[in-house]
A = this chain, B = another copy of it.
């Protein structure tokens, strides 16, 4: 009859396992994790659930699995770089690393897509779409770090409180219970520092900038924001993990 034995859900399992990896509870001196049968018993889940969790950990770079050998933990590089995969927002990511991200200057204006300085990297957008245009200058541990130029679809995100403008726009959207985040397209490039932003960075116009363009979508597939972040090349480095 396949009665539900009420085991823990995958998301919980993933959290627990990340924690147990960090504390070393399930990693031996050779970075090896217990075998799947052992983990199944330890967490009281079926193999399917366990492997769902292992798969997520593996995508995030916490572990890798070697066929016929075993499962191994991996050092995460989040401490030195910004992970492009952990979509938690810059503020949260930096807070986790014990670094302080502050917004020193910001502006918000109402525009239509036709008047925006740029458009989403992928996809199209109706020129009549009403947008919030937000510009933010942000410092990391007191040093100029990034200039953010972003557009949010007004009809979707509604009013943006000042606390979000100073802090985390990402958290503002994520915590809105009527919206479910879906996915992002990201385009990374380098470009010379523009004159109008040179004052903020300790750099001459024309200096290298690392640029990240994000198009953000809800889980329904609806675009809700697109943005361009320019990082001081000396401070901004992105990290990611790929399976071949």
Residue A69 is within 8 A (CB to CB) of chain B in the complex: yes
Report yes or no: B185 in contact with A241, Cβ–Cβ below 8 A: yes
Contact segment of A98-106, A141-149, A204-212: A204-212
Report yes or no: A77 in contact with B185, Cβ–Cβ below 8 A: yes
| Copies of this chain | 2
Residue A186 is within 8 A (CB to CB) of chain B in the complex: yes
Contact segment of A10-18, A59-67, A110-118: A59-67
A interface bracket (residues with beta carbon within 8 Å of B): 35 or more
Q: Is chain A's binding surface mostly helix, strand, loop or mixed? A: strand
Query: A121 CA to B208 CA in the complex, in Å?
Result: 21
A-to-B contact residues, CB < 8 Å:
59, 61, 64, 66-67, 69, 72, 75, 77, 81, 84-85, 87, 121-123, 181-192, 206-211, 216-217, 219-221, 231, 233, 236-244
Q: Given known contacts A190-B190, A190-B236, what 10 new A-B pairs fall within 8 Å (CB)?
A: A77-B121, A81-B187, A84-B240, A84-B242, A182-B243, A183-B241, A185-B239, A189-B233, A190-B233, A210-B210
